[in-house]
């Protein structure tokens, strides 16, 4: 009987979602000029007259704006980064906090004292290749988040790659235990640093998370103001956080 | 200034992961600072915005500070401050509580649909962490699954809103013309997404397990988080969608009231009884919110404030009793102060004269009659009858039955707080304006879409 109810509820939900899909505009038929993202892509948010824009006067960005080479209001070469860490940076602060909250929750629920073993000796190939791969993986992770404003990638993927290196250490060595104190302090200090960047923007520009550093030239490593700094803090924070989660999953309670 | 309400608890939470022992004092510091910030900007009487990163709305994310979000933030932070005064209750959970405070503030203040989804995610995750206190893992897991599904559906609703308006800004969405078929989709999905936190009928199965599982979860989730979630119901269905989809909410709310009260009457566990009772009260509030006028919404939040204060006292006392005594018969003979505050709070819940609940219930019923709605008042009177049943039964059991156990140590701070709040409930009966004034301003601000749009986008368009 219970299963029947579950099937009925699920069928109702699926039917509802299918009906609702019909209200979405068809693929390729959307007028992109009336979406906020059109102006994110052209990076000309400041030049839009909001009053006319919301009343239906769509201001399509000019060709020079879309294909231009310099003088943007945000100079990150990766347009996704400019949306994620500049236009909607507050959401990213929220997402960083989501991860932080989950890591804290895992710590409170799982925390233990002793390293849990796998019960068998790691393979010889695994042990040797870990030594070769580890520096490469860490370097790759750091590369991803340092160049987050230039190439696809950023703090979240870069940090995850670094945490994968820690997981590899756990897999290849039964004795290995990550230093939780270091990872927690790195996680906490990097998280606070993001908020402090936001507060610095509040102090200098009058708005939380304001980009208070010079924009530079698009494409160079030191460009896009505060964006690369924020991505580096996110990368280190996510890396230490997920390493902490990996370590906590490998802990077991005594007895 | 108002971005500090979110930034300070967040910053202190990040700092206290480095020095764990500081988390309790820092939690107190964060909630105290927030209350000070709110008091210095008492009732803005207009719409102020804070554009994040100086990107103007509707492009960037903006926080909106008007009478509605001020009053909601004040109530939310006040309960966090009260909780932070009880170190025994907070325990190891200082960091999740700080994050929950930051997220609840963000949820209340934000003027952006996607941003509100992000804060809802944080609320769900931290609330689940808090719910797992005292190894209440099974119920916390149930809550995690329901909360996760609700979060995805809330996100889906946001996607639909973006697809049909091209914007995530609440003010812009509310003035953009949405076709009626997509409006149905958007409002239904938002109703489901918010239904879990707002404890609406088919989605409230988690409440009894989570509230009944430990002492911290009901105190904070039943007061602050409920208030934030129900504020969002008012903001979305009142301000943004101008009362569209209100019929669905109204029907669900009436079912919620009846089911909640009946379940509370059948329940033999003290915490779970009042968990179901707070489900029923959430139903009353949503039913009133679905009426959509400023007065009705104001009265809904007046009732919610009374209920939250009463529930704080009830859950505080009940949590202490359940975890210190095996058998609850006659325990109030040993703890007279706790008993008196519990009785006052529970009578206020029913709405006996002399207590705050009477003022809000009477006004709600009169307002419903004046709107020619006879179904809701009759449901509410029936609910009150059932409430009398279980509240009197519990009071008799806790005060007069034969006592059997040794006395546990009386918690001094908790009983002082409970007594003060109980006295507040009596004061509100004499001078209802203490809560009613603010709640009315909040209701009117929520109903006034035009002012909201003008405040956020500095434009007005004819009509709604």
Residues A123 and A171 in one domain: yes
pTM over cut 0.90: yes
Residues A127 and A30 in one domain: no
Residues A56 and A134 in one domain: no
Final residue of a structural domain among A67, A98, A124: A67
Q: Which residues contact B222 (CB under 8 A, 6 or more apart)?
A: B211, B275, B278, B308, B311, B312, B315
DSSP lists the bridge partners of residue A115 as: A251
CA dist list (Å): B183 to A23, A140, B92, B186, B197: 9, 46, 44, 5, 22
Domain of B314 in residue numbering reads as 4-457
Number of domains making up chain B: 1
Residues A85 and A207 in one domain: yes
Measure in Å the smallest separation between the Cα of B57 and chain A Cα atoms.
8
Closest CA to B225 of B100, B57, B50, B86: B100
Residues A50 and A88 in one domain: no
Measure in Å the smallest separation between the Cα of A231 and chain B Cα atoms.
16
Residues A34 and A129 in one domain: no
Residues A174 and A112 in one domain: yes
B65 touches chain A (CB under 8 A): no
Number of domains making up chain A: 2
B53: nearest CB among A54, A199, A201: A201
Residue A74 lies in a domain: no
Task: Give the residue on B whose Cα is nearest the Cα of A86.
Answer: B53
Residues A162 and A182 in one domain: yes
B16 touches chain A (CB under 8 A): yes
Q: Cα A144–B152–A15 angle (5° rounding)?
A: 130
Residues A179 and A61 in one domain: no
Domain of A116 in residue numbering reads as 79-252
User: Are B55 and A102 within 8 A, CB to CB?
Assistant: no
- 10 Å CB burial of residue B339 (0-12, 13-18, 19+) is buried
User: Are A100 and B118 within 8 A, CB to CB?
Assistant: no
Residues A44 and A157 in one domain: no
User: Are A36 and B166 within 8 A, CB to CB?
Assistant: yes
In tens digits, chain B (464 residues) has pLDDT values of 788 999 999 999 999 999 888 899 999 999 999 999 999 988 888 888 888 888 888 888 999 999 999 999 999 999 999 999 998 888 889 999 999 999 999 999 999 999 999 999 999 999 999 999 888 899 999 999 999 999 999 999 999 999 888 889 999 898 887 888 889 899 999 999 999 999 988 888 899 899 988 899 999 999 999 999 999 999 999 889 888 888 888 999 999 999 999 999 998 899 999 999 999 999 999 999 998 889 999 999 999 999 999 999 999 999 999 888 888 888 888 889 999 999 999 999 998 988 999 999 999 999 999 999 899 999 999 999 999 999 999 999 999 888 777 788 888 899 999 999 999 999 999 999 989 999 999 999 999 888 898 888 876 544 33
Residues A134 and A15 in one domain: no
Question: Which of A101, A110, A209, A233 to mutate: most B Cβ within 10 Å?
Answer: A101
Sign of CA dihedral B191, B196, B198, B199: positive
Residue B463 lies in a domain: no
Residue B462 lies in a domain: no
């Amino acid at each position: 009987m219970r299963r029947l109810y579950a099937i009925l509820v699920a069928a109702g939900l699926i039917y509802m979602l299918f009906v609702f899909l019909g209200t979405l505009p068809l693929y390729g038929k959307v007028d992109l000029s009336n979406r906020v993202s059109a102006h994110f892509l052209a990076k000309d948010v400041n030049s839009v007259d909001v009053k006319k824009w919301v009343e239906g006067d769509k201001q399509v960005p000019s060709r020079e704006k879309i294909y231009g080479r310099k003088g943007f209001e945000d100079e990150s070469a990766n347009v996704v980064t400019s949306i994620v860490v500049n236009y909607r940076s507050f959401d990213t602060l929220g997402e960083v906090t989501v991860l932080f909250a989950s890591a804290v929750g895992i710590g409170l629920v799982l925390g233990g004292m002793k390293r849990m073993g796998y019960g068998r000796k790691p393979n010889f190939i695994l042990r040797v290749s870990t030594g070769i791969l580890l520096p490469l993986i860490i370097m790759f992770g750091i590369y991803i988040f340092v160049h987050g404003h230039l190439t696809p990638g950023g703090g979240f993927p870069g940090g995850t790659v670094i945490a994968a290196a820690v997981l590899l250490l756990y897999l290849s060595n039964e004795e290995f235990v990550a230093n939780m104190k270091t990872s927690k302090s790195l996680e906490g200090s990097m998280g606070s640093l993001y908020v402090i960047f936001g507060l610095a923007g509040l102090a200098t520009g009058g708005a939380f998370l304001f980009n208070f550093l010079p924009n530079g030239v698009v494409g160079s490593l030191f460009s896009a103001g505060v964006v690369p700094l924020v991505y580096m803090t996110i990368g280190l924070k996510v890396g230490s956080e997920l390493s902490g989660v990996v370590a906590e999953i490998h802990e077991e309670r005594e007895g | 200034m108002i971005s500090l309400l979110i930034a300070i608890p967040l910053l202190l939470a990040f700092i206290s992961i480095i020095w764990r022992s500081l988390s309790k004092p820092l939690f107190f510091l964060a909630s105290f600072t927030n209350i000070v910030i709110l008091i210095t900007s008492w009732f803005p009487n207009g719409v102020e915005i804070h554009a994040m990163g100086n990107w103007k709305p509707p492009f960037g994310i903006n926080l909106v500070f008007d009478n509605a979000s001020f009053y909601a933030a004040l109530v939310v932070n006040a309960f966090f401050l009260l909780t932070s005064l009880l170190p025994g209750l907070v325990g190891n959970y200082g960091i999740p509580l700080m994050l929950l405070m930051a997220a609840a503030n963000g949820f209340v203040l934000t003027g952006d649909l996607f941003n509100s989804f992000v804060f809802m995610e944080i609320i769900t995750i931290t609330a689940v962490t808090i719910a797992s206190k005292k190894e209440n893992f099974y119920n916390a897991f149930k809550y995690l699954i329901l909360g996760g599904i609700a979060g995805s559906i809330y996100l889906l609703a946001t996607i639909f809103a973006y697809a049909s308006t091209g914007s995530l800004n609440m003010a812009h969405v509310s003035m953009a013309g949405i076709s009626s078929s997509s409006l149905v989709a958007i409002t239904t999905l938002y109703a489901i997404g918010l239904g879990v936190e707002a404890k609406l009928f088919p989605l409230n199965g988690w409440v009894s397990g989570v509230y009944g599982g430990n002492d911290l979860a009901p105190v904070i989730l039943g007061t602050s988080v409920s208030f934030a979630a129900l504020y969002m119901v008012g903001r979305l269905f009142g301000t943004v969608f101008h009362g569209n989809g209100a019929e669905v909410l109204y029907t669900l709310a009436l079912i919620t009231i009846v089911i909640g009260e009946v379940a509370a009457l059948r329940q033999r566990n003290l915490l779970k009884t009042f968990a179901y009772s707070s489900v029923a009260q959430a139903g009353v509030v949503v039913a009133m919110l679905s009426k959509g006028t400023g007065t009705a919404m104001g009265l809904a939040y007046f009732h919610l404030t009374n209920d939250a204060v009463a529930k704080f006292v009830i859950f505080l006392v009940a949590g202490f009793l359940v975890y210190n005594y095996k058998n609850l018969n006659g325990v109030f003979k040993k703890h007279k102060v706790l008993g008196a505050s519990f009785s006052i709070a529970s009578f206020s819940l029913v709405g006996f004269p002399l207590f705050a609940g009477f003022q809000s219930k009477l006004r709600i019923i009169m307002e419903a009659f004046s709107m020619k709605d006879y179904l809701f008042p009759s449901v509410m009177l029936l609910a009150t009858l059932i409430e009398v049943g279980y509240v009197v039964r519990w009071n008799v059991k806790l005060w007069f039955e034969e006592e059997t156990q040794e006395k546990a140590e009386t918690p001094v701070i908790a009983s002082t707080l409970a007594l003060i709040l109980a006295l507040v409930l009596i004061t509100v009966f004499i001078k209802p304006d203490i809560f009613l004034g603010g709640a009315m301003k909040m209701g009117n601000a929520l109903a006034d879409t035009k002012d909201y749009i003008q405040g956020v986008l500095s434009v007005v368009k004819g009509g709604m």
